[in-house]
Structure 1
Amino acid sequence: MKRFGITLGDPCGIGPEITLKALYANELYQRHALLFGSHAILEYYNQELGYGFVFNALTTIDSWKEDAINLYDPIPSVTLADIQIGKVTALGGELAFQSVRTSIEFALRGDISSVVTAPLNKEALHLAGHKFAGHTEIFGFYSHGPSYAMLLWSEKLKAIHVSTHISLRQACDACTKERVLDVIHLADATLKKAGYACPRIAVAGLNPHAGENGLFGTEELEHIIPAVEAARGEGIAVEGPIPPDTVFLKAMKGGYDIVVAMYHDQGHIPLKMLAFDSGVNITVGLDVVRTSVDHGTAFDIAGKLVASEKSLLEAISIGMKL
């Protein structure tokens, strides 16, 4: 197994807790993970959970220790007293951001093979002065690739998004032939990396009934159908546009391996209903492999030691495959 990174996310949320729980569940991960986040909050949860982990705070990969949990603390001056568990704070946003940024630096140098991210809070991120919409946009800014997309992965259903963190009005404008074709390419390439010989891709319509031949909108006729036809011409196994109220059911029943969703909620609602605790969020198309839990910081249960590490374990496993 190659070394990989785990960012703790917002230290005021459940990220540090589920990270230690995931490491406790798998001894191999203990030896190969490099954590990015507050040393102080890790020591707190280590004691509360009764794990007895020994941490090695390093500044370069050359300081790696095989008999410890290795970590990089981007702001080592932060103490436990500075962290308000369960609260939205600028410090939480700053620690989360710096953890992600430094993990990308380690990945681009080849020190780690991939990055798995625990959840951050967008409000806290903005309080800290970092005006990103989320992890996907941070990775898009600091790493490299001609195009990228958010892919939600579960055993039952997979969806990749043409647009994500923009308004619904903007999402309609973002549904262009070029972008839809890019996302079809990303879906095909990602599933092939994960072992699918010939991924079966369904493309959802944007409008009700996939536009009903122009009665309910022309995006399908002007952009989505031309993108699907172009992809088919390249030999990709893709169909669509398929009405969005049925395409996910067809995929869940085995008709397709992945659905190209036109906007954030179109793909997120079915995935979160089916696999909220086990779904994985993947940023595809960049030169840094990034997988993530598909849930939030859960400030309401932070510090109560009841958070589930299942989604994080799935994210680590899929990151290894990719």
Structure 2
Amino acid sequence: MPQTAAEVLPRIALTMGDPAGIGPELTARLLATPENLHKAEVYVLTDATELKAVAAEVGVDVPVADEPAPGHAVLVGSGLSGPPVQRRTVSKAAGERVMADLLKALNLYRTGVVDAIMFTPLNKASLHLAGMHEEDELRWFAKNLGYQGTTSELNFIPGLVTSRVTSHIPLKDVAARINADSVLAAIRLLDDVLKGSGIPAPRIAVCALNPHAGENGKFGREEIEHITPGVEAARAQGIEATGPHPCDTVFIKARNGDFDGVVTMYHDQGQIAMKLMGFDRGVTVQGGLPVPIATPSHGTAFEIVGKGVAHLGPSQHAYDLAVALGRRNRQNRR
């Protein structure tokens, strides 16, 4: 009998992140949790030797199979074979392994094998040594997918999500990138992802750029000329968006449950608040791409590699989000 939509399991490509950091041990612990292997078909970019060694180090057992089977992971091999990478160290070799695995994960999506991708933490310095020179991973993903639509890093903590109109650019360039179209695009992207995560009618706050939301033009006109028209355009499309809100108070209201999501104008406007509210629970989604891609928001934590103390919470949240978005993506593709 054909599966119903509710019975269709999403298929997730899972990479071990930077092999020099805590990514491999987080991966093994995720896969050793029985519930996780019943939520999705998981295709892991490693081989049996590597996974067994990591699992033994952290004291867990990971059930594997050659084909998808309930409660088992499928090992599809790394995108790059070679000698082990030196741990706790920034290196070109680590960056090359990460990029090869991510390219293989993208190919698994292109060929219809998976519906979403999750990767454990990366190290930007190693990626740079290996040749990733885009603004961030999101632009690298978009380039390799040939995708030219709207993209934004989305940051999740339980109960709240942010998107950005601008991201990894100098502050001096932010105002020039803000216009009604870019504001509308960030609102629409956040609304779509929130709906995909299970919220039918998201409540979205949009930040101002200037102090006191510009105070009627006294401190800048971006709110009047660009941000307000973007919010109005979103509301005309049926999106429950409000603003521009002063950015020094909007996260207090969001923390109290008034909003499901906040659109910020630049990177730190949202990241400082989100990390204060939920650093140990944060997840980043590479928003706007045709394939959902999720990762924990923290780094590779070289100082605790192999000690068995890495907090699994953000990786678990990233996995659960990849499963939810992957399920929606698979249903849409079917």
Superposed displacement of residue 53, structure 1: 3.6
CA distance in 2, matches of 1:276, 1:129: 29
Counterpart of 1:79 (choices 73, 80, 83) is: 83
The equivalent of 2:206 in structure 1 is 203
CA distance in 2, matches of 1:276, 1:145: 31
The equivalent of 1:60 in structure 2 is none
The equivalent of 2:243 in structure 1 is 240
User: What's the secondary structure of 1:26's corresponding residue?
Assistant: coil
Counterpart of 2:124 (choices 122, 133, 142) is: 122
The equivalent of 2:22 in structure 1 is 14
1:239 maps to a residue whose letter is T
Superposed displacement of residue 249, structure 1: 0.9
- Contact 2:30 2:36 survives alignment (8 Å): no
Moved more, 129-138 or 208-217: 129-138
Query: How big is each residue's C-alpha offset from its partner over 1:37-76, in whole Å with a ceiling of 9 and x where there is no partner?
Result: 57665343122123344667xxxxxx63645541321112
Superposed displacement of residue 198, structure 1: 1.6
Superposed displacement of residue 145, structure 1: 5.5
Query: How big is each residue's C-alpha offset from its partner over 1:193-213, in whole Å with a ceiling of 9 and x where there is no partner?
Result: 222222111000111111111
Query: How big is each residue's C-alpha offset from its partner over 1:88-132, in whole Å with a ceiling of 9 and x where there is no partner?
Result: 000111111111111011112210110012111111111112213
Counterpart of 2:41 (choices 16, 32, 36) is: 32
Moved more, 63-72 or 132-141: 63-72
- Contact 1:53 1:69 survives alignment (8 Å): no
CA distance in 2, matches of 1:282, 1:23: 20
2:94 maps to a residue whose letter is G
The equivalent of 2:103 in structure 1 is 101
1:211-230 pair list within 5 angstroms: 211-230=214-233
Superposed displacement of residue 28, structure 1: 4.1
User: What's the secondary structure of 2:103's corresponding residue?
Assistant: helix
Identity %: 37
CA distance in 2, matches of 1:230, 1:54: 50
CA distance in 2, matches of 1:51, 1:193: 32
Moved more, 23-32 or 13-22: 23-32
CA distance in 2, matches of 1:110, 1:20: 25
2:28 maps to a residue whose letter is L
The size of the alignment, in residue pairs, is 313
Over 3 Å counting, the alpha-carbon distance change for 1:313 and 1:10 in structure 2 is: same
Counterpart of 2:270 (choices 257, 267, 270) is: 267
CA distance in 2, matches of 1:264, 1:286: 19
Which blocks of at least 5 consecutive residues in structure 2 are unaligned?
A: 1-8, 326-334
Over 3 Å counting, the alpha-carbon distance change for 1:259 and 1:27 in structure 2 is: closer
Counterpart of 1:91 (choices 90, 93, 109) is: 93
CA distance in 2, matches of 1:149, 1:204: 15
User: What's the secondary structure of 1:254's corresponding residue?
Assistant: coil
User: What's the secondary structure of 2:86's corresponding residue?
Assistant: coil
The equivalent of 1:42 in structure 2 is 51
- Contact 1:145 1:286 survives alignment (8 Å): no
Counterpart of 1:155 (choices 141, 152, 158) is: 158
2:59 maps to a residue whose letter is G
- Contact 2:284 2:297 survives alignment (8 Å): yes
Q: Does 1:138 align with 2:140?
A: yes
CA distance in 2, matches of 1:39, 1:123: 28
Superposed displacement of residue 2, structure 1: 2.5
Moved more, 240-249 or 250-259: 250-259
RMSD, matched Cα? 2.0
Over 3 Å counting, the alpha-carbon distance change for 1:26 and 1:167 in structure 2 is: farther
2:83 maps to a residue whose letter is T
Counterpart of 1:70 (choices 63, 66, 75) is: 75
The equivalent of 2:168 in structure 1 is 165
CA distance in 2, matches of 1:33, 1:23: 9
TM-score (norm 2): 0.87
Which blocks of at least 5 consecutive residues in structure 1 are unaligned?
A: 57-62
